[in-house]
Amino acid sequence: MRQRLTAVTLAALVALPAVAPAQTVAEAQAFMDRAEKQLLELNVEGARADWVRSTYIIYDTEILGALGNERLIAATAKLATESTRFDKLPLPPELARKMKLLKLQLTLATPSAKAESAEATQIAAKMEGMYGTGKYCQAGGKCLDLDQITNIMRTSRNPAELLDVWNGWRTISPPMRPLYRRFVALSNKGARELGFADTGAMWRSKYDMPPDEFSRELDRLWQQVRPLYLSLHAYVRSRLREKYGAGAVPANGPIPAHLLGNPWAQTWDNIYDLVAPPHADPGYDLTKILIDRKTDYLAMVRYGERFFGSLGFAPLPPTFWERSMLVKPRDREVVCHASAWDVDTKDDLRLKMCIEVNAEDFITIHHELGHNFYQRAYNKQPFLFRDSANDGFHEAIGDTIALSITPEYLVKIGLLAHPSPESADLGLLMKRALEKVAFLPFGLLIDQWRWKVFSGEIQPEEYNKAWWALRLKYQGIAPPEARTEAEFDPGAKYHVPANVPYTRYFLADILQFQFHRALSRTAGCTGPLYRCSIYANQEAGKRLNNMLEMGASKPWPDALYALTGERQMDATAILDYFAPLKTWLDEQNKGKPVGW
């Protein structure tokens, strides 16, 4: 999803040049009115340039996108500096929060020197463009893009073929390595000019709590879910060992990354057929159902839109259908990575996606539309409040909806004749765990790596070594072959060259189950949590919308309370959801090593 650039804090500005203090609240309000108007205009201008850059990748659109970002960053930094003159002035609560959020707008703080600022934004645009146009050209001359590589890794069970495309995708990123090294230096310089130790410290300052407290919160949440992940990892490893042999998969070590059905081994649901519990066939294949019904890309999106309609939300605006990119164009390079856009932060909502008719994209569409409906729900807020309570909330909303894609939901929308039997529950839970539980450590480690890079704990000479050390520590995953510092494997993941913070996805993986548990209770669901769907429940829709409309107007614990009645993020909901599977996994793992 595209979000406004984030992260500058009040404490960060102490090193900036002194600004004459303000005298009146009226003066502060006038400043804020001007700031919000200017930032709105620049965000819309930048969003339109970014849209063209992402959907029409050529040299000129990269430059235009970089210029738009450069103007926005410079204006935001200038306004954040100006706002310090109101720091000691008692302000009404809403105005005080806006002043705080103004100082939390940047993800990339470029240096104040114009040449270095331009260089930083140009490098950012260039790296994202390199990723979007990346292809692996095989020895025979056939070139594969990421969609093709993803499909091979999803369907192939030939280890040699999997190894070839796994290595092949990583040929796109070594040229990014010197660019990324320079980008880190420039980004850190900009962050330090704002008073931060580095860019990582800047990012961690945006969660309504001190950065160190936030780091401890992540550790607490990870420790809550780690036992569930370890059980899943041990079981999957033993089944892959049965499939590929003892020479390919160790009995008690890390799992080779190319065997998990995904270019980054971030989710494992594509290897469900290899690890499915016995007698757990749900009795249907959603991909086959969609194809047999001749479902096209527009119908795929309409299913998602109707889900929100069933909760009481208005349909998407006509411009959504006119301006979205829903299939990959034949005549140009584009960034296919799915994302939801609110171009004018009001009602110009768009989806950018290269839709394939399959179950994975069916779920992704529900997720991305969650962003769009969130964006529209808070569009009546003042500009600085037109955002999610924290960035994890934005990602969690769409996934919360996706958790309601149950067999019962598929029956209600006519894709199934009857729900799968209870005997299939373990299979349904396994498939979802391969997506959700498997993702948790990956969602955590991306920014663990970047924060250490930004702080200097990881030096450029050890980018790849440190990357795989963290993947081993958190995921129990290892590269299928030795990797060297000639490679730049982090750059083969979109969010690194695109400079998109990733901790939001870990938080979203926790929050979505907490949201789902609360909304399911509101909907009156008394069955197992994994069988609950809030589809067509207006009361759940109302509770959801009340939270969405808050935007960023209140600290995230207030928004969490509005939806769940709780003020602390809590991973026990994910444990509740997968409890039957955890019991079964532990039975299967008896006598076998757990961990690596």
Residue-wise pLDDT for 83-137, tens only, equals: 888 988 999 999 999 998 888 787 888 888 989 999 998 999 999 999 999 999 9
Using alpha carbons, select from 80, 70, 78 the residue that is nearest to residue 108.
Answer: 70
Vertex 76: Cα angle to 72 and 79 (nearest 5): 140
CB 182 within 8 A of CB 404: no
Q: What does the pLDDT profile of the chain (596 residues) look like in tens digits?
A: 444 443 333 333 333 444 556 579 999 999 999 999 999 999 999 999 999 999 998 888 888 888 888 888 889 888 987 888 898 899 999 999 999 888 878 788 888 898 999 999 899 999 999 999 999 999 888 999 998 999 999 999 999 999 999 999 999 999 999 999 999 999 999 888 877 899 998 899 889 988 889 989 999 999 999 999 999 999 999 999 999 999 999 999 999 999 999 999 999 999 999 999 988 887 789 999 999 999 999 999 999 999 999 999 999 999 999 999 999 999 899 989 899 999 999 899 999 999 999 998 999 999 999 999 999 999 999 999 999 999 999 989 989 999 999 999 999 999 999 988 887 899 989 999 999 999 999 999 999 999 999 999 999 999 999 999 999 999 999 999 999 999 999 999 999 999 999 999 999 999 999 999 999 999 999 999 999 999 999 999 999 999 999 999 999 999 999 999 999 999 999 999 999 999 999 999 999 999 99
Measured CA to CA, the distance from residue 342 to residue 320 in angstroms comes to 10
Beta bridge mates, 256: 478
Using alpha carbons, select from 536, 554, 446 the residue that is nearest to residue 497.
Answer: 446
Range 145-169 burial, b when 16+ CB lie within 10 A, else e: bbeebbebbeebeebeebbbbbbbb
pLDDT for 282 equals 78
CB 110 within 8 A of CB 74: yes
Chain position carrying tokens 């594509």: 270
Beta bridge mates, 349: 342
Using alpha carbons, select from 279, 263, 287, 271 the residue that is nearest to residue 232.
Answer: 271
Q: What are phi and psi for residue 594, nearest 5 degrees? A: -120, 130
Measured CA to CA, the distance from residue 403 to residue 405 in angstroms comes to 5
Measured CA to CA, the distance from residue 210 to residue 203 in angstroms comes to 11
For the chain, give the number of residues: 596
Burial of 379 (0-12, 13-18, 19+ CB in 10 A): middle
Nearby residues of 74 by Cβ (< 8 Å), 6 or more positions away: 110, 117
463-472 contacts at long range (C-beta below 8 A, 24 or more positions apart): 463/177, 463/180, 463/488, 463/490, 464/488, 464/489, 464/490, 470/445, 471/257, 471/445, 472/254, 472/596
CB 77 within 8 A of CB 194: yes
Helix (H) or strand (E) holding 538: helix 538-550
pTM: 0.86
Nearby residues of 422 by Cβ (< 8 Å), 6 or more positions away: none
CB 375 within 8 A of CB 348: no
Tokens of 473: 């520590």
Distances, alpha carbon 553 to alpha carbons 5, 208, 227, 380, 504, in Å: 17, 12, 36, 11, 19
Q: What spatial distance separates the first Cα and last Cα of the chain, rounded to whole Å?
A: 34
Chain position carrying tokens 């390919």: 248
In this structure, the strands spanning 255-256 and 477-478 are parallel
Residue 474 is classified by DSSP as I
DSSP helix/strand/coil, 143: strand
Which stretches does DSSP call E strand in 456-563? 477-478
Q: What are phi and psi for residue 548, nearest 5 degrees? A: -60, -40
Helix (H) or strand (E) holding 39: helix 25-55
Q: Hey, how many other C-beta atoms are within 10 angstroms of the C-beta on 308?
A: 23
Tokens of 174: 């070594």
Q: What are phi and psi for residue 256, nearest 5 degrees? A: -60, 135
Q: Hey, how many other C-beta atoms are within 10 angstroms of the C-beta on 220?
A: 13
- Which residues are the active-site residues? 337-338, 367-368, 371, 395, 495, 505
pLDDT for 4 equals 45
DSSP helix/strand/coil, 155: helix
Measured CA to CA, the distance from residue 158 to residue 164 in angstroms comes to 10
Helix (H) or strand (E) holding 454: helix 439-455
Chain position carrying tokens 């001359």: 141
